[in-house]
Structure 1
Amino acid sequence: MGVPRSPANRLAPSRPLSPRLGWFSWVDAVVAAGLLVLLYAVIRLGKDVTLSFVPTQVSGIDTDPAHLPYYAGRSLLRMFAALGVSLVFALVWAYAAAHSRRLERVLIPALDILQSVPVLAFLTVAVTGFVALFPGSLLGLELASVFAIFTSQAWNMAFAFYHSLITTPRELDELSRGMGFSRWMRFWKVELPSGAIGLVWNAMMSFGGGWFFLVASELISVSNREYTLPGVGSYAGAAIVAGHLDHVGWAILTMAILVIGVNFLFWRPLTAWAERFKVEQSEAAQVQRSLVLDFLRRANWPRLLGRALAPLRETAGRAGRVFGVDDRPFLVDVRRRRAGDVLFTVVTLALIGWGLVSLVGYLAGQPAGLSVFVEPLLLGLATLARVVVLVAVATLIWVPIGVKIGFSPRLTRIAQPVVQILASFPANFLFPLATWLFLRTGLSLNIGGILLMALGAQWYILFNAIAGAMTIPTDLREAMDDLGVRGRRRWRRLIIPGVFPSYVTGAITASGGAWNASIVAEVVTFGGTTLTATGLGAYIAHATAAGDHPRLLAGVAVMSMYVVLINRLVWRRLYRLAEHRYSL
């Protein structure tokens, strides 16, 4: 009886795909040349990051389209730097939350709050801190911009990996324990591969979110002055201010080329490579393909480099075994664990209580007193209604579409760049047009604001629906076909249970993104006319514009409270349902 080949074995060719000349071939030459060009581009673009920065001088952007290639390179450098930091953050944060009951009680609610805080609020704090760390250097502003992009990328990646950790297939978990894996080995051999598909697709969505906030992260206000960093976002912002619609068109075209190029050269190969980590016992008739990945697999030097670095991997593995604790069964002192739980709870509540007392004391000393919370609490109900409608409608529309795309490798190749462009397009470019349509049609912003919020939030559900459909094992789908299970029964027995864990991740991040987007979607301007919706987002926007810190603090605190309560009462229970009932 034959043993099915594992996905890893399936993807490793048993013979060379092209003739090789000894240890080096023309494929290796092309790949090496490409890496050298990439390294040169990074060095060439990165050297301008450390230029001197004089606060009394205001920098500007030349809107000549000839500068767009350079600006595009600078923006890409920031985007990938933020993506790298976001990946490290997501792995560390999610791992700590999934493996510690005590930390989970703090880290997951904190993640709920962080995703609801507006990116511009992070940017205001980051600019002051980074400029102080690097006085007289543009590096401070560059790091502040990268940090702003990071805050638009990190949260849903952390949620996705956290959920994959708590829903790791039981058989793999038991196998790793039975083989005596250390936590270091278990992470690299079991947990990270198990969550690879969802992590890759959420990273791709995060990258799109970074494009969305590129304008704000490259147009920075420091000490009541506007400073611009070279990039596509700042170019588009300058063109909009100058009223040069043709230059805006060039910026949009450049962004579309960047999205398609990054998708072809980076995301497409990465999603095809992640297919090797799908948990299944039979190979799919159609698999994800990438011309770039197929080409790279024909090169010799990655394997030679891997052999050269083998001693380093062994050293890292020994270090992991030294600092990691084996997962083999051991006796637990119940009394000591309970005492630790009590101590951790007391310290956490003490810190939270101290923060709340300080906030309440500050607001009580203001003219409005604690009554400042009344208005945002009521306005939050209106924004909550919009968020609920948005998530419900986006679920009904995008989950079936995402399942269709995820089940078809051919459709994925066609739809992936299109979805990337739609998710990456800065929706605030469309806000003036939307305002004009609302004025012409008489549609109230109280309803139209849902559409504006959806422009930035709905894609989380679509991307996670695609990722969830792609993780459903092929043998289960083939079994359903053989049994003749179609229509509603197929959805009830296979698709909904298979997609549900990923959907919960998409819904919780879409909900947080909708709260964040409400700040710009509930107040829009066109041609000197400003439309305002009734809601908490408009309340925070007006408080920010007026510099009213008590109202701003009250609004952000109330928004965080709503997000945490919804996540605890709704999404956290759905997380547990997915963990116990719908995991493989």
Structure 2
Amino acid sequence: MTMFSFNHAAMRPSSPARNPSTSSADRQPFAVRIAADALVIAGILALFGLIAWILPAIGEPIGPKGVPSSVSTNLADLPYYALRSVFRMFVALFFSLVFTFVYGTAAARCRRLSRVLIPLLDILQSVPILGFLSATITIWMVLFPGSMLGVEAASIFAIFTSQAWNMAFSFTRSLTSEPRELDEAARSLRLTRWQRFWTLDVPNAMIPLLWNCMMSVGGGWFFLTASEMISVNNHTYALPGIGSFVAQAAAEENLAAICWAIVTMVAVVLLIDVLLWKPLTAWAEKFRITQSESAVRKTSAVLTIIRQSHIDEMLDRLFQPVGELFDTLTRPLGRTGGRWPVETKSTRSRVLDVLFMVVVVTASAFGVIELMLVIHRDAGFDELGHALALGMLTFLRVALLTIVCSVIWVPVGALIGMNPRVSRFMQPIVQVLASFPSNFTFPFVTLWFVACSVNINWGSILLMALGTQWYILFNVIAGASQIPDDLREMAHSFQLGRWQRWRELILPAVFGSWVTGGITAAGGAWNASIVSEIVSYGQHTLTASGLGAYIAEATENGDTVRTIIGVAVMSVFVVAVNRLFWNPLQRLAERRFALN
């Protein structure tokens, strides 16, 4: 297979197997390489210059009036606000990647820990960002007293909680569905844990992880307003950013400012797509499992310039010592060896499993009992019943949204992922639509709902779909793009009809990706309910009956007990649906439809 190269050079963590096409850079004229170096260096200097310009304002002291509760809607500030938002977004994405690698590896490789980490991931993705903000805003302010850095850290953490979970789900699934022959190759070569991680685990997960990174950034944009204009415990903390700009403009009923913010946001999304996502998706093609090169290769002008420069060689020299250091540090963890793991367990292992489960169940039971006592003392079980009824209404919205989005986007995603020509045209469009924060349009949608007398109980489903449908689409695109070319050619050789090709090849191949997308889309929809079931523009406020609106109102009013009740009920719904519906489908995907 051309996906991985298990030679000595490839085993070096800092020197992944290179695509043969990259060697053509060495044959470029000297002047071309110098020009490419100049462009790359100019880009790096510009990036560091922008970061150096932004950093002083992030750590500035809080003034005598405290943290501002509003921001300026002066259009001249909009470019600076956009840079601040992009900076927060990618700092959060960096920490999300670190979390994904650590958490996903532990959940996939440690059988005992996986029994806790995977259900815990279900719970974490079900907790809305307002729940995280309510619990952590004070902690961040204490950690950085008298500095705006505390509020900045709270905002970045909120964005992190909207990005990390779907990336961790995707990475965990990629590790548990690795092709068996590649796993056997890694074991036969006795790779260290670090070598296996960078030569098999990460490359195998690269394409779906990359698409989920795109989706995570889109999810971060969706919750940008809530994470930059933080309203908790009867306090509002406003940070300079394009999300807070839109929130302030909506409060002032300034439609012109909102329109300019939308134009700025579209420009930002297009720039990120051209400078980052398009080069990465073209570069990631070398990680596809295939025996032949794709007939239509993805290209990127930015990637071409980078390949013609010397930056690859410089990064290799820079990170090789780091990779060797991690390799040395992880050698005590052992090597990848032995045969494919079998199901037999020793008596000691069974005893440890029982003790581990006893500790987990005891801790969980203690937490539930304490929660019930707090609810009984401060709110009463009638309030809990009310929250459960509201949760059922939100659940019906989420279920309807997931079904409709699956019917629409699975065929579209498969078409984009399997056809490079369609992908080249559609990917930028899809990326712009997914990355664009749809809640920026909520003021206009609110006015439309008011003018046309649209019931917000139904309209909130549309608002939730605008931000969560892309999880299904992006995961299906990633799954379809990983279908080996030889399987496609076999289907063509057998002259399978259109329906047969879908039934025998496409749907089974993307089934696991759809399950991953469905889990994260459903979790994202529950999260999105907090900003979709209650929308406002100026003096107009529309509130739907649902758990999202319940949590949003409780958080804004500083009602801690009802916030806890709402978050707990939402977690119960999400975990129950995942346990009863999504997890059996995930096991079915791993058992019957994995390419191993």
TM-score (norm 1): 0.93
Q: 1:46 aligns to what?
A: 55
Q: 1:419 aligns to what?
A: 430
| SS across alignment from 2:236 | strand
Partner deviation per Cα, 1:197-255 (whole Å, 9 max, x = no partner) = 00000000000111111122222347744332222222222222223222211111111
Residues 70 and 544 (structure 1), Cα distance of their counterparts in 2 relative to 1, 3 Å cut: closer
Partner Cα distance (1:544, 1:21) in 2: 60
Q: 1:540 aligns to what?
A: 551
1:256 is displaced (CA, Å) by 0.7
Partner Cα distance (2:556, 2:79) in 1: 35
Q: Is 1:28 equivalent to 2:44 in the alignment?
A: no
Q: Quick check: 2:186–2:196 contact (8 Å CA) kept in 1?
A: yes
Q: Is 1:297 equivalent to 2:312 in the alignment?
A: no
Aligned counterparts, 1:268-279, within 5 A: 268-279=278-289
Partner Cα distance (1:161, 1:48) in 2: 35
Aligned counterparts, 1:297-336, within 5 A: 297-307=307-317, 309-328=319-338, 334-336=346-348
1:46 is displaced (CA, Å) by 1.4
1:493 is displaced (CA, Å) by 1.0
Q: Quick check: 2:285–2:298 contact (8 Å CA) kept in 1?
A: yes
Q: 1:227 aligns to what?
A: 237
CA RMSD of aligned residues (A): 2.5
Q: 1:361 aligns to what?
A: 373
Q: Quick check: 1:17–1:298 contact (8 Å CA) kept in 2?
A: no
Q: Quick check: 1:280–1:474 contact (8 Å CA) kept in 2?
A: yes
Q: 1:188 aligns to what?
A: 198
| SS across alignment from 1:249 | helix
Partner deviation per Cα, 1:106-142 (whole Å, 9 max, x = no partner) = 1111111111111122123332111101111121111
Q: Quick check: 2:141–2:151 contact (8 Å CA) kept in 1?
A: yes
Residues 512 and 376 (structure 1), Cα distance of their counterparts in 2 relative to 1, 3 Å cut: same
1:420 is displaced (CA, Å) by 2.4
How many percent of aligned residue pairs carry the same amino acid? 49
Partner Cα distance (2:476, 2:141) in 1: 40
Partner Cα distance (1:171, 1:100) in 2: 21
Q: 2:13 aligns to what?
A: none
Partner deviation per Cα, 1:546-565 (whole Å, 9 max, x = no partner) = 54443332222121111111
The correspondence for 1:178, drawn from 155, 169, 188, is: 188
Partner Cα distance (1:384, 1:390) in 2: 10
Aligned residues: 581
Residues 236 and 446 (structure 1), Cα distance of their counterparts in 2 relative to 1, 3 Å cut: closer
| SS across alignment from 1:12 | helix
Partner Cα distance (1:41, 1:544) in 2: 35
Q: 1:84 aligns to what?
A: 94
Residues 498 and 422 (structure 1), Cα distance of their counterparts in 2 relative to 1, 3 Å cut: same
Q: 2:417 aligns to what?
A: 406
| SS across alignment from 1:230 | coil
| SS across alignment from 1:227 | strand
1:442 is displaced (CA, Å) by 4.2
Equivalent position amino acid for 2:46 in 1 = V
Equivalent position amino acid for 1:375 in 2 = H
| SS across alignment from 2:308 | coil
| SS across alignment from 1:135 | coil
Partner Cα distance (2:102, 2:318) in 1: 28
The correspondence for 1:455, drawn from 438, 445, 466, is: 466
Unaligned runs of 5+ in 1: none
Partner Cα distance (2:24, 2:46) in 1: 31
Partner Cα distance (1:388, 1:222) in 2: 29
Partner Cα distance (1:312, 1:162) in 2: 25
Partner Cα distance (2:558, 2:236) in 1: 17
Partner Cα distance (1:120, 1:5) in 2: 42
Partner Cα distance (1:184, 1:25) in 2: 35
Q: Is 1:119 equivalent to 2:134 in the alignment?
A: no
Q: Quick check: 2:67–2:237 contact (8 Å CA) kept in 1?
A: yes
Residues 309 and 515 (structure 1), Cα distance of their counterparts in 2 relative to 1, 3 Å cut: closer
Q: 1:160 aligns to what?
A: 170
Partner Cα distance (1:491, 1:221) in 2: 48
Equivalent position amino acid for 2:363 in 1 = L
Equivalent position amino acid for 1:568 in 2 = R
Q: 2:363 aligns to what?
A: 351
Greater RCO, 1 or 2 (C-alpha within 8 Å, sep 6+): 2
Q: Quick check: 2:232–2:556 contact (8 Å CA) kept in 1?
A: no
1:335 is displaced (CA, Å) by 1.5
Q: 2:12 aligns to what?
A: none
